[in-house]
Amino acid sequence: MKFLTIKVVPVVAWSSAHPLNFQPRGLTLFFLCFGLSLFGLGEALLIAAGAGVSPWTVLAQGLGQQLGLSIGWSTFLVSACVLLLWIPLKQVPGIGTLANAVIISLVIEQALPYLPATDNYLLKVLEGLIGILLVGIGSGIYLTAHLGAGPRDGLMTGLARLSDYPIAWVRTTLEISAVSMGWLLGGSVGLGTLLFAFGIGPAVSLGLFLVRHLFRETE
Average pLDDT of the residues of the chain = 93
Please report the pLDDT score of residue 180 as a whole number.
Answer: 96
Question: Residues 27-51: what's their mean pLDDT?
Answer: 93
Helices (H) and strands (E) counted in the chain, each on its own, are 9, 0
Please report the pLDDT score of residue 31 as a whole number.
Answer: 97
Flag whether pLDDT at 49 surpasses 80: yes
pLDDT in tens, 178-196: 999 999 999 989 899 999 9
Contacts of 116 (CB under 8 A, 6+ apart): 48, 127
Q: List, as one string, the DSSP characters of 54-102.
A: -HHHHHHHHHHHHHT--HHHHHHHHHHHHHHTHHHHT----HHHHHHHH
Question: Residues 148-167: what's their mean pLDDT?
Answer: 96
Name the residue type at position 7.
K
Please report the pLDDT score of residue 51 as a whole number.
Answer: 84
Contact 207, 138 (CB under 8 A): yes
Question: Residues 159-181: what's their mean pLDDT?
Answer: 96
Q: How sure is the predictor about 50, in pLDDT bands with cuts at 50, 70 and 90? A: confident
Category of 149 on φ-ψ map: left (φ > 0), alpha (ψ -120 to 50) or beta: beta
Please report the sign of the dihedral spanned by the C-alpha atoms of residue 204, residue 150, residue 180, residue 59. negative
Say how far apart CA 51 and CA 68 lie, in whole Å. 25
Flag whether pLDDT at 219 surpasses 70: no
